[in-house]
Structure 1
Amino acid sequence: MTLKAQWYRDRLAKKSRKGFCGYPVATVAFYGPDDTRATKVAVGIVAYEGADADPVERWFCQTADARTDPAITEAIVRFIEQHGARSVAAVNRIIGCPHEEGIDYPEGENCPRCPFWVNRDRWSGEIIR
């Protein structure tokens, strides 16, 4: 890993570890077809308590893991800084399928491309049912 890539990775981790430092808050979430490789990261900016995340930016990575891709990490840090986020909320695991309900597959159905996530709790990773 290059020095530049490590710097962005460390910067993101440090901001996340600080906890809540006020609004706006950047939310960082990783998604993948299973719990081993992230193919998508979504970052949203929450301006104030109770607000929806807006703007939201998404990055995709089909060949590597989005959690360790230097270009994606740099883009995430730049996006967060561009929007003046004072806090970063992130989980260190993949929390679900990269496909969006109602966009990539019908509302109320399971993603046909990601059977790993069927009947699985996205936060604990445990099978439910």
Structure 2
Amino acid sequence: MNIDKSKKRIAKKIKMGFQGYPELSIAYSGSHADLAQQVTIAFVEEQGAEPMLQSFTSTADAREDEIIQSTIVKVMERSGAKTVVLVPGVLVSGVEGIS
């Protein structure tokens, strides 16, 4: 799937707002606010449940990485997430290079 289609599908699901559980949260982080080197996806099956976390890293901006964006779409579909939430901005890490 190309990056534009992936980003549109993710944005459409985010725009729908809270639709119930399961819920998927997407958070980007990096060494500075202009470069998202890592994306963390948190999946919550039901209210009050512990989130299951999955992270992906990129040497470039993860928001523009076709493989990472396509993977997020696949995770959304396979998990049956009714709600998708995007943490705004890029969380800045105090450590050089994220592992």
The alignment's TM-score, normalised by the length of structure 1, stands at 0.69
Unmatched tracts of structure 2, length 5 or more: none
- The structure in which a higher percent of residues are helix is 2
What is the letter of the counterpart of residue 60 of structure 1?
T
Specify the alignment match of 2:71 in structure 1.
Answer: 75
Q: Distance in 2 between matches of 1:93 and 1:21?
A: 23
Residue aligning to 1:49: 47
Distance 1:92 1:4 in 2: 23
Give ranges in structure 1 of 5+ residues lacking alignment.
98-110, 115-129
Larger Rg: 1
Partner of 1:95: helix, strand, or coil?
A: strand
Q: CA RMSD in A?
A: 1.6
The partner residue of 1:65 within 24, 36, 61 is 61
Matched, 1:25 2:9: no
Letter in 2 for 1:93: G
For residues 102-122 of structure 1, give each alpha carbon's deviation from its aligned partner in whole angstroms, at most 9, with x where no partner exists. Answer: xxxxxxxxx4537xxxxxxxx
| Residue-by-residue CA offset, 1:14-56 (whole Å, 9 max, x unaligned) | 10111100100001000000111000000011111122212x2
Structure with greater contact order relative to length (CA < 8 Å, sep ≥ 6): 2
Indicate the residue corresponding to 2:3 in structure 1: 5
The structure where strand makes up a greater share of residues is 2
Secondary structure at the counterpart of residue 93 of structure 1: strand
The share of aligned pairs that are identical, in percent, is 30
Tell me how far apart the structure 2 counterparts of residues 5 and 33 of structure 1 sit (CA, whole Å): 23
- Number of aligned residue pairs: give it: 97
